[in-house]
Amino acid sequence: MKFEATIGEQTHSLELHPKDHSYTFENKQGSYEFSYENGRYMLRSGTKLYKLDNVSYEGSVVHFTMNGVHHSVDVKNEQDLLLDRLGFKTGAAVEEGILNAPMPGKILDILVAEGDEIEKDQPLVILEAMKMENELKAPVGGSIAVISANIGQSLEKNSPILEIKTIG
């Protein structure tokens, strides 16, 4: 599994190999153990032990304290990195309340109707693009206000598909 982690202004590449508990970080290799004990995450790499507390997520940003020092890391996985390279927006970059086509494609199915109550990350639309079916999920929770696309319709990148009226 490949990741890219941005800490402040610096971006680092990381590849985890869970089967053998090894990693590659900035072309350096090592082994790791990761566990959850007594309400605390423990990360061991070589002879070093790191204690991780207060872990929370805000989109792709992970906030935590490591050995008592606060850190915020923006983490991108392989899918996020691919979408970035292709020039598509990731879920965190999608404008709140509006679902646009992330790439040119054809609407195969619309899984909701106007007025439906939905939750964040709920599947809303199936878009066929590059010979693959892509499940587009809700960027926010709320209710479906307007559906502006139809099943079978071909869309350009960033074409509006539907609008969500947020709750609250």
Condensed to tens digits (0 to 9), the pLDDT of residues 76-113 reads 888 877 777 765 555 444 446 788 888 889 999 999 99
Beta-sheet strands, E only, within 8-120: 10-17, 22-25, 28-37, 40-45, 48-58, 61-66, 69-76, 98-100, 105-110, 117-118
Topology classification of domain 94-166 = OB fold (Dihydrolipoamide Acetyltransferase, E2P) (2.40.50)
| pLDDT average, residue stretch 109-124 | 92
What tokens were used for 28?
Answer: 């350096």
Beta-carbon contacts of residue 117 (< 8 Å; ≥ 6 apart): 142, 143
Q: Looking at the predicted structure, is the pLDDT value of residue 155 above 80?
A: yes
Query: Could you give the 3-state DSSP secondary structure of residue 92?
Result: helix
Residue ranges of the chain that CATH labels 2.40.50.100: 94-166
State the pLDDT confidence band at 147, using cuts at 50, 70 and 90. Answer: very high
Closest-CA residue to 149 (of 136, 166, 131, 139): 136
Quote the pLDDT of residue 88.
59
Task: Look at the block and give the residue holding tokens 């709750």.
Answer: 167
Q: Which is more confident, 20 or 83?
A: 20
Give per-residue pLDDT as tens, 51-65: 998 888 877 888 989
Q: Sign of the C-alpha dihedral, residues 93, 95, 99, 105?
A: negative
Task: Look at the block and give the residue holding tokens 């590059």.
Answer: 130
Q: Looking at the predicted structure, is the pLDDT value of residue 15 above 60?
A: yes
Closest-CA residue to 67 (of 90, 41, 33, 103): 41
pTM: 0.49
| pLDDT average, residue stretch 25-33 | 91
